[in-house]
Amino acid sequence: MLLKKLGFDAVHVRDVKLNTASDEKIFRYAQRQGRIILTRDLDFAAAIKFRPGKHQGIIVMRISYLMTAQQINGILEDFMRNVSRAKLKKSLVILEIGRYRLRRD
């Protein structure tokens, strides 16, 4: 897994048997475990529902579903190598090709 290779303590929802769970259940799990959510699910981009500063952090990858795993990993790796980990805590990040937007409260 790319995130582990980059030194992050990452867990896939599949590994904790949450791959079919609701967004709410995944969100609650991440908060209890002190984890930042990384997802392509645009529902997590709803700042009204998932207010920055009120959670551990959410990164939403807003990219085409036609992209290959290699392309996605390239975008993610570039982002993770160039952003401060401290900035991710309690933030809502929208990650796109070549740019990102970060919201904090």
C-alpha dist (Å) from residue 12 to 27, 62, 70, 101, 104: 13, 19, 18, 24, 25
Q: Where are the beta strands (DSSP E) in the chain?
A: 37-39, 58-61, 92-96, 99-103
Q: For 60-70, how does the pLDDT look when each residue is reduced to its tens digit (9 = 90+)?
A: 999 999 999 99
Does residue 57 surpass a pLDDT of 80?
yes
The mean pLDDT of 54-63, rounded to a whole number, is 96
Q: How many CB atoms neighbour CB 92 within 10 A?
A: 25
pTM for the predicted model, two decimal places: 0.93
pLDDT at residue 78, as a whole number: 95
Q: For 78-102, how does the pLDDT look when each residue is reduced to its tens digit (9 = 90+)?
A: 999 999 989 999 999 999 999 999 9
The mean pLDDT of 11-16, rounded to a whole number, is 94
- H-helix or E-strand spanning residue 60: strand 58-61
pLDDT at residue 55, as a whole number: 94
pLDDT at residue 1, as a whole number: 77
The mean pLDDT of 21-43, rounded to a whole number, is 96
The mean pLDDT of 25-53, rounded to a whole number, is 95
Where are the chain's structural domains?
2-103
Contact, 39 vs 61, CB < 8 A? yes
